[in-house]
Amino acid sequence: MEAEFGVPQWTFRDSTWSFVSEQRIICTWLKDGISYLGSINLDTGQLETLPVPYTDIESVQADAERVVFLASSPSTFPAILELDLKTRCCAVLQCASQLALDPETIAVGESLLFPTENAQTAQAFFYAPRSRDFTGLPAEKPPLLVMSHGGPTGASHNGLRLVIQYFTSRGIAVLDVNYGGSSGFGRGYRQRLNGQWGIVDVNDCANAAKFLVRQGRVDADRLLIRGGSAGGFTTLAALTFTDVFKAGASHYGVSDLEALARDTHKFESRYLDTLIGPYPERADLYRQRSPIHAVDRLSCPIIFFQGLEDKIVLPNQAELMVAALIRKGVPVAYLAYAGEQHGFRQAVNIKRTLDAELYFYAKVFGFELADQVEPVAIIYPDER
């Protein structure tokens, strides 16, 4: 079977298949970013889809009678599930959260395929704003927040994510982009990013936003982008090297690729050789694609979030960028957290980060917040 990307519709990923017997494998596969659970008869090659109400499935383990897996759906939290292969009944063994959410408040991701560079197609999930109690003005289109996932060869799925619901419940549409290089769409799709990190991912995020603008679903003058770690690099590069986005948020993002190549941990020490080129032999590429060396091209507001104990993307990656933007006179905000590493774990800091990001966007676009949010110190040009 051939999919829209010219690759097999389903591909094995880590921990997504399990032998039941010599004649049968239980597996998952992706189509347009949606996960499916199925059974392969090794004698006939026939694939049978197993009916489960989940769209993000991984970590499959099975025997002749049951399948145990980790999964979520657009309206349910991640959980460990057990599927009885005889009765086809699915039971929850353990759920990540007991929080009850009103289904009428949940924005469900719509899988989109959009055109991008080189006559290719890429995939994203679009979440329209949703609230049980409020609607936007009739003639007003919502702001759009593009999300660039980390990895950068990871992937986004449409299981329930509260960070997305935070923004959609406050009137901001979200577009979660599986840019070229994302895993789960076949080898060719994954290899689009080889040697092209900072180009393919940036173009795909920009083209995804422009696609929704052409469809008339979002406001062209209120396009935002956010990302963490490698997604933070894509965010900063998109803000620096394109004119599509009006503001953004970098969560412990990379601004200097050379510094990342020199300072990152051993596990990813040669990762960039594939994504960019061998270092230091191709140091020119690292400099060309680093936002820190192209601040003169950057003119839109950015908020930075950084853990001061981050050993993967060191704090100076954010601090150098903030200092450069202050010198240039671009509005900027910086929140640094003591005791936080690569990704924030303290509940108070996670909440503060989301509130601060929303506050920043409200100030950039001049809208009032319904929530009481602690203000963020934003440095404006006339405050230097």
Helix (H, G, I), strand (E, B) or coil at 293: helix
**What tokens does 214 get?**
């052409």
Q: Tell the burial category of 274 from Cβ atoms under 10 Å away from its Cβ (0-12, 13-18, 19+).
A: middle
Helix (H, G, I), strand (E, B) or coil at 238: helix
**What tokens does 304 get?**
């930075």
Give 57's contacts (C-beta < 8 A, 6+ positions apart).
Answer: 16, 28, 35, 36, 37, 69, 70, 71
Length of the chain: 384
Residue 229 known to be catalytic: yes
Q: Which of 73, 229, 255, 290 is catalytic?
A: 229
Q: Which of 201, 256, 310, 355 is catalytic?
A: 310
Query: Position 224: which residue type?
Result: L
Determine the Cα–Cα distance for residues 259 and 286; give it in Å rounded to an integer.
9
Q: Which of 72, 256, 342, 355 is catalytic?
A: 342
Question: What residue has token string 């601060």?
Answer: 356
Long-range CB pairs of 29-34, under 8 A, 24+ apart, other chains included:
30/184, 30/185, 31/3, 32/4, 32/111, 32/113, 32/123, 33/111, 33/123, 33/125, 33/155, 33/156, 33/157, 33/158, 33/178, 33/184, 33/185, 34/111, 34/157, 34/158
> What is the β-pairing status of strands 47-50 and 56-62?
unpaired
Give catalytic residues, as residue numbers: 229, 310, 342
